[in-house]
């Protein structure tokens, strides 16, 4: 969608126009933080150590505006890693740590977060360097503490069918959400609020039945906003498209821990 189309249909800037490189050697911490970033609308790339981060940075497109890095990793880490990043990137560098940061790291970085950090604190730290327009308009419609899956519905499915069948249901939902996000984006570009309303209604109903609560809520918001929108505009339309894709990714990321193959 072109910038002219965004202006024409009243679409706003999104955080997923802001690329973030996340560097953390701890798998759980990395995956949790990446999920929180994605749900907040950022475009996230990850690396498990300093050396792999340099490889990612060399090919990452678009280039990161923010680098979020753990400061206590084996190998290349701390101020040495920050120095390499400064040579290769103009991104803001935020240090993350589970303990008090050394003074030299605090001085070398552009900011820091102490684990465990709240979602709101993370957003404030990352948005602090964004332009006023991006920071003020790029507000995700996803409730940070909202469950991705209704565990009661999941338990009912498990009681009725084998695990592979349950996985198949949620994989189908993930695939469908991706397709409907693209269809919604096209409807917005065409100013087709009737189609946007239909898409939201379908997402709301199907995802609610499957217990995909986060996506179901977004479907309801899309349906309501498209129906009540002015003319051919959908309030927060582009944000909702991004949130829909983020909800699909969050649902997919839960399949392995919740439904091991």
Q: What is residue 43's predicted lDDT score, i.e. its pLDDT? A: 87
Same domain, 186 and 94: no
Res 53 pLDDT > 90: yes
Residue 198 belongs to domain spanning: 151-258
Per-residue pLDDT of 61-86, as tens digits, reads 888 999 999 988 888 888 999 999 99
Q: Percent of the chain beyond pLDDT 70?
A: 80
Tell me, yes or no, whether 155 and 124 share the same domain: no
Read off the pLDDT of each residue in 194-216 and give the average, rounded to a whole number: 92
| DSSP secondary structure, 39-80, as one string | HTT-EEEEESSHHHHHHHHHH-SSPPSEEEEES--SSS-HHH
Task: Give yes or no for residue 23 having a pLDDT over 80.
Answer: yes
Q: Is residue 229 part of a domain?
A: yes
Final residue in a domain of this structure, among 94, 129, 164: 129
Does residue 9 fall inside a structural domain? Answer: no
Q: Rounded to whole angstroms, how far apart are CA atoms 118 and 123? A: 9
29 with 121, same domain: the answer is yes
Residues 122, 25 share a domain: yes
| pLDDT per residue as tens digits for the range 226-244 | 887 655 556 567 778 888 8
Domain containing residue 78: CATH number: 3.40.50.2300
CA 41, CA 1: separation in Å to the nearest integer?
A: 18
Q: What is the pLDDT of residues 175-184, one digit of tens each?
A: 999 999 999 9
Q: Is residue 206 part of a domain?
A: yes
Residues 195, 239, single domain; the answer is yes
Q: 112 pairs with which residues across the strands? A: 95
pLDDT tens per residue, range 136-163: 344 566 766 678 888 899 899 989 998 8
pLDDT at 38 over 90: no
Mean pLDDT is lowest, of 67-71, 96-100, 106-110, for 96-100
Cβ atoms of 212 and 204 within 8 Å: the answer is no
Note whether 86 and 164 are same-domain residues.
no
Q: Is residue 174 part of a domain?
A: yes
Pair (124, 205) in one structural domain? no
**Average of per-residue pLDDT values in the chain:** 80
**Is there a domain that residue 143 lies in?**
no
Residues 123, 25 share a domain: yes
Residues 165 and 123 placed together within one structural domain of the fold: no
Q: Is residue 178 part of a domain?
A: yes
Predicted confidence at residue 207, as pLDDT, reads: 92
Based on the fold, state whether residues 155 and 125 are members of the same structural domain: no
CATH number at residue 159: 1.20.120.160
Q: How confident is the model at residue 130 (pLDDT cuts 50, 70, 90)?
A: very low
122 vs 203, more confident: 203
Q: Is 192 helix (H, G, I), strand (E, B) or coil?
A: coil
Residues 94 and 177 in one domain: no
- On whether both 163 and 88 belong to a single domain, the answer is no
Answer whether residue 21 shows pLDDT above 60: yes
Number of domains in the chain: 2
Residue 12, in any domain of the structure: no
Q: Specify the higher pLDDT residue, 218 or 100.
A: 218
pLDDT at 129: 53
In a domain, 194, yes or no: yes
> Which residue is it, tokens 């129906």?
227
At residue 232, the pLDDT reads: 55
Q: Mean of the pLDDT values across residues 18-28? A: 90
C-beta atoms surrounding 9 within 10 Å: 20
């Amino acid at each position: 969608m072109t910038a002219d189309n965004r202006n024409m249909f009243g679409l706003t800037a999104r955080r997923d126009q802001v690329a973030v490189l996340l560097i953390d050697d701890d798998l759980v911490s990395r995956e949790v933080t990446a999920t929180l970033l994605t749900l907040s609308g950022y475009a996230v790339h990850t690396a498990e150590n300093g050396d792999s981060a340099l490889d990612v940075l060399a090919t990452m497109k678009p280039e990161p505006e923010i680098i979020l890095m753990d400061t206590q990793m084996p190998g290349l880490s701390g101020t040495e890693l920050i120095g390499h990043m400064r040579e290769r990137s103009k991104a803001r560098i935020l240090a993350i740590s589970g303990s008090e940061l050394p003074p030299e790291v605090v001085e070398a970085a552009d900011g820091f977060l102490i684990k465990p950090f709240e979602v709101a604190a993370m957003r404030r730290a990352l948005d602090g360097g964004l332009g006023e327009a991006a920071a003020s308009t790029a507000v995700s419609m996803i409730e940070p503490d909202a469950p991705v899956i209704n565990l009661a519905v999941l338990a009912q499915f498990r009681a009725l069918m084998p695990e592979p069948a349950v996985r198949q249901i949620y994989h189908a939902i993930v695939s469908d959400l991706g397709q409907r996000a693209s269809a919604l984006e096209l409807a917005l570009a065409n100013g087709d609020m009737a189609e946007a309303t239909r898409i939201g209604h379908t997402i709301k109903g199907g995802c609610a039945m499957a217990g995909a609560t986060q996506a179901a809520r977004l479907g309801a918001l899309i349906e309501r906003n498209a129906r009540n929108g002015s003319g051919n505009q959908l309030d927060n339309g582009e944000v909702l498209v991004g949130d829909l894709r983020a909800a699909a990714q969050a649902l997919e990321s839960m399949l392995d821990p919740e439904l091991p193959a």
